[in-house]
Structure 1
Amino acid sequence: MRLVAGLTAAALSGLAAAANQQSAEVYLLQSSWQSSPETPSIPKEVARHIFLQRTSRQRYGSDLRDIPGSIDTQTAVDHLATFGKTPTPLFTHADKTDASQLVVILEGTAAEQSSRLKEKLGQNAAFTISDPPSATANKHLMTLFRNLGVASSQQCELSAMINPFEADCWAGPSSVVKYDLRASPETLDALFDNLSRLDKFVADGDLEVLLVLLPESSRSSKLNHWSAAAAGAAADLRRRRDAEMVISDQDNTTPKATPPAKKPAASSGSGSAAHRAKPIPQCFPSLKSCMADTNSCSGHGECVNKYGGGGGNSSDSASAPASSCFACVCKATVVSPPEKGRKTKHWGGNMCQKEDISVQFWLIAGFTVTIVGAVTFAIYLLFGVGEETLPGVIGAGVSRSK
């Protein structure tokens, strides 16, 4: 009897926890957006793809393999097309720039705060997230954005973040920021005080905003990732990393010394074995880490900040902002002395470790196609001449001998 009572109490507590789980509201502030009276409810995986599609600095290819079975793929694609970033028209003036993309995640939103925000905005939520994950999942999500170079520093207040021309808080055309309303409830008041400025930026087409209101009940959720995959956001980051290893010319020309049995080590000039064993990311947070993990771009280039205004040697690990993205820029090298003829090699790859032979390939391919076409055309002409009938005058002058 006690066992049955215990099972019943556990089941009722589970149902109560599921009932207390509130959905997260997402508001879309966009100049061409018209709110609908019906608010769709989408899973967290689709919402994550919408965030990535809006903030991606390159063309985002959606990998929808992590979409749960509760929603079909076509419906997920429709949500991405509806709530994602509007594609640039084909025939657009060169001086026309896309609006900056801002995603604001507000944790610990109370029901009263959500109602006030809805009243101030004067519109319904664009969509709701049916299963908002925990605060741990939000930290993983911000780490993903930070590795992609789009997450902003938490030191910037919301009143400064809504200005896309604020150079101290914006390092590119998109940004993601997260605030905890339970720890800093004044953030919502700052949003209310600056709604007129925000509306002006949105109306002028300079800014598009996603406001994600995560309820307080989601803070202790058992969902620790925004993605349904086993590794969540970490797996998504690994798919964006290049699994190639660091290669240097000295590895092929200089014989390696046998390391001691107790403490193996490698010389600093040829790169350590640990550097060659781990995958190299597309972005490094500092110049020092870029130079160390790529073996100085394999000696064929230099590390520069993709999204910074200065060169690669203008920032270090102490002064580089959180949104810095240092990567290798490859340079050409001369591999033969001038008296024997100048021979230049071009390099590619995320560590400048590959020789770029695209020019040679296209020369050989173009020459081969041209020669094959010319020979085929000549054979066709020869067959055409052989098939022509002789004129009748030649046949009339021939007589049979008696």
Structure 2
Amino acid sequence: MRLVAGLTAAALSGLAAAAGQQQDAEVYMLQSSWQASSETPSIPKEVARHIFLQRTSRQRYGSDLRDIPSSIDTEVAVDQLARFGKNPTPLFTHADKTDASQLVVIIEGAAAEQSNRLKEKLGQKAAFTISDPPSSTANNHLMALFRNMGVASSHQCDISAMVNPFDTDCWTGPSSVVKYDLRASPKTVDSLLDNFSRLDKFVADGDLDVMLVVLPESSRSSKLSHWSAAAAGTGSDLRRRRDAEMVISDQDNTQAKTTSAPTNAPAAAPGGDGGSAARRTKPVPQCFRSLDSCMTGTDSCSGHGECVDKYGRGNSSGSEAAASCFACVCKASVVEREGAPTKGRKTVQWGGSMCQKEDISVQFWMIAGFSIVIVGAVSFAISLLFGVGEETLPGVIGAGVSRSK
């Protein structure tokens, strides 16, 4: 009986160890220029975190890997970041015109059956795996970092809206990060599969690049509470580097951000409200899918224009069209001059994506053209004077003034 009991206990402990074994997280790449490799590398969580930051950063991310532990080869980490990260934007090129929108979707608590369904629908194997996916607490810290960077939205959007990069309600810029917990939202996988055709169309057209991070259910019980070794506090040197570089910090500094927000907030423009000034600091899409979204997103073109369909295929009722591209068309406005010496009216031209900037190109070219003409006239007059002075006198005048012998 003791032998049977011992064998039973050993078998149960083996099953418990197998059930509690940490599984790797799978990361899939969906973009038009992506070519899957025959090998699926395993990447540490610190390097994977830098890949997420590099793909979604709205500034030029410097790939500062100072928080990478010494056990990870830096050259290998740089190669992985260059392979799976976003290609750098060419100089003197607007990112919204050349780059696709970047979306990182984090699915937390995926079971084996759900992971297999996603793999079958995608029709490809994972681009890379994360060998040590951290816990739910670490995922919350990571999302707090993205929110502090202005990438992740403060409200949860449905997956059907997130796959549309032209949805101005959920997209506030060229990149976005969203996390879905399958324990709280069990139908997320079904919704993703139902909207896969729309997602694939945006990817094929080059409008969207997606990185799908599937975290297994076993990662909830992980002892790793941060994605970054520096945020976990492993070593005083890493803590000093973390304090010196805010972008690689993984701690939730929400209170500090809230305290410094009034100092860094842009001041309201004279004659306008603070809400309009705050909205103008956000990137404005090049195209809106409907007239209503254009009027809302541009504050009615700042009162200096109107929203029209650039391609002429939309309607004026405010409903969406399949190929509509609503944008602001600026109009001139007549204002009263201030001050006694300059009383009267003047016409002001407006420009910008929201018609929020005064167009002074006419005044500039008038001043520049007048200056060029004046400089040319003065130079021509001086050259004529030098030419007259260099001419020789006629012979008759020379004979009349010569001395007689």
How does the TM-score come out when normalised to structure 1?
A: 0.57
* Paired residues for 1:2-401 under 5 Å: 16=17, 20-89=21-90, 96-231=97-232, 238-240=243-245, 290-291=261-262, 294=263, 302=267, 310-312=276-278
Rounded to whole Å, the distance in 1 between the matches of 2:69 and 2:19 is 18
> What SS class does the counterpart of residue 66 from structure 1 fall into?
coil
Task: Provide closer, same or farther for how the CA distance between residues 313 and 161 of structure 1 changes in structure 2, counting only shifts above 3 A.
Answer: closer
Say whether the 8 Å CA contact 1:226–1:232 is kept in structure 2.
no
CA distance 1:239–1:189, shift in 2 (3 Å): farther
Deviations 1:87-126 (A, max 9, x none): 2345869983311111100000011111111110001100
Give me the whole-angstrom Cα distance separating, in 1, the residues matched to 2:150 and 2:174: 11
Q: Secondary structure at the match of 2:126?
A: coil
SS of corresponding position for 1:119 = helix
**1:203–1:61 CA distance, 2 compared to 1 (3 A):** same
Instruction: Tell whether the 8 Å contact from 1:23 to 1:128 is kept in structure 2 after alignment.
Output: yes
Give a deviation string over 1:247-278, Cα, whole Å, max 9, x none.
Answer: xxxxxxxxxxxxxxxxxxxxxxxxxxxxxxxx
TM-score between the two structures when normalised by the length of structure 2: 0.56
Q: Supply the AA of the counterpart residue of 1:310.
A: S
Q: CA–CA distance in 2 between the matches of 1:93 and 1:155?
A: 29
Are 2:109 and 2:220, in contact at CA under 8 Å, matched by a contact in 1? yes
Q: Indicate conservation of the 8 Å contact 1:40/1:127, yes or no.
A: yes
Q: Report the more deviating stretch, 88-97 or 126-135.
A: 88-97
Q: 1:227 to 1:165 in 2, by over 3 A?
A: same
1:322 match: none
Aligned counterparts of 2:95 and 2:102: Cα–Cα separation in 1: 20
Cα distance between partner residues in 2 of 1:232 and 1:98 = 36
Displacement of 1:284 in angstroms is 5.2
Aligned counterparts of 1:181 and 1:188: Cα–Cα separation in 2: 8
| 8 Å contact kept, 1:101–1:209 | yes
Q: 2:198 & 2:233 partners in 1: Cα distance?
A: 36
Secondary structure class of the residue paired with 1:224: coil
- Paired with 1:120 and 1:109, the residues of 2 have a C-alpha distance of 15
Alpha-carbon distance between aligned partners in 2 of 1:99 and 1:229, rounded to the nearest angstrom:
31
Give, in angstroms, the shift of residue 194 of structure 1: 0.6
Q: 1:70 to 1:187 in 2, by over 3 A?
A: same
Q: Cα distance, 1:168 vs. partner?
A: 0.5
Alpha-carbon spacing, 1:65–1:310, altered in 2? closer, same or farther (3 Å) = same
Helix, strand or coil at the partner of 2:223: coil
Q: Deviations over 1:171-212 (max 9, x none)?
A: 111111000112212111110001110011111111111100
Letter in 1 for 2:261: C
Verify the 8 A CA contact 2:267 2:277 in the aligned structure 1. Answer: no
- CA drift of 1:20 comes to 1.0
For residue 71 of structure 1, give the secondary structure of its aligned residue in structure 2.
coil
Q: CA deviation at 1:220?
A: 1.1
Q: Counterpart of 1:64 in 2: which secondary structure?
A: coil
- Provide, for residues 137-167 of structure 1, a one-character-per-residue CA deviation record: whole Å limited to 9, x for no partner: 0000001111011012343101101111100
Q: Is the contact between residue 153 and residue 169 of structure 1 (CA under 8 Å) also seen in structure 2? A: no
CA contact (8 A) 1:24 1:212 kept: yes
Per the TM alignment, residue 34 of structure 1 is displaced from its structure 2 partner at its CA by 1.0
The gaps in structure 1 that reach 5 residues or longer are: 243-279, 316-402
Separation (CA, whole Å) in 1 of partners of 2:96 and 2:17 = 55
How far residue 314 of structure 1 moved from its aligned partner, in angstroms, is 9.5
Q: CA 1:78 to 1:314, structure 2 compared with 1: closer, same or farther past 3 Å?
A: closer
Alignment RMSD: 3.7
> How far apart are residue 25 of structure 1 and its match?
0.1
**Distance (Å, rounded) in 2 between the aligned partners of 1:117 and 1:313:** 37
- Distance in 2 (alpha carbons) for counterparts of 1:226 and 1:49: 10
In structure 2, relative to structure 1, the CA distance for the partners of 1:119 and 1:238 (3 Å cut) is same
Q: Structure 1 residues 64, 284: CA separation in 2 closer, same or farther (over 3 Å shift)?
A: closer
Q: Secondary structure at the match of 1:128?
A: strand
TM-aligned CA deviation for residue 26 of structure 1: 0.2
Indicate conservation of the 8 Å contact 2:89/2:95, yes or no.
Answer: no
Contact 2:102 2:176 in 1 (8 A): yes
Following the alignment from structure 2 to structure 1, what is the Cα–Cα distance between the partners of residues 150 and 15?
A: 39
Compared with structure 1, are the counterparts of its residues 142 and 28 closer, same or farther at alpha carbon in structure 2 (3 Å cutoff)? same
CA shift for structure 1 position 49: 0.3
Aligned partner of 1:195: which letter?
F
1-structure distance, mates of 2:207, 2:190: 23
How many residues matched? 259
Percent of paired sites with the same residue: 72
Q: For residue 230 of structure 1, report the CA deviation from its aligned partner.
A: 4.6
For 2:214 and 2:85, the matched residues in 1 are separated by 18
Residues 95, 210 of structure 1: alpha-carbon distance in 2 compared, 3 angstrom cutoff: closer
Amino acid at match of 1:30: Q
Describe the superposition over 1:25-56 as per-residue Cα deviations: whole angstroms up to 9, x where unpaired. Answer: 00010110011121000100000000000011
User: Residues 181 and 95 from structure 1, CA distance in 2 versus in 1: closer, same or farther, beyond 3 angstroms?
Assistant: closer
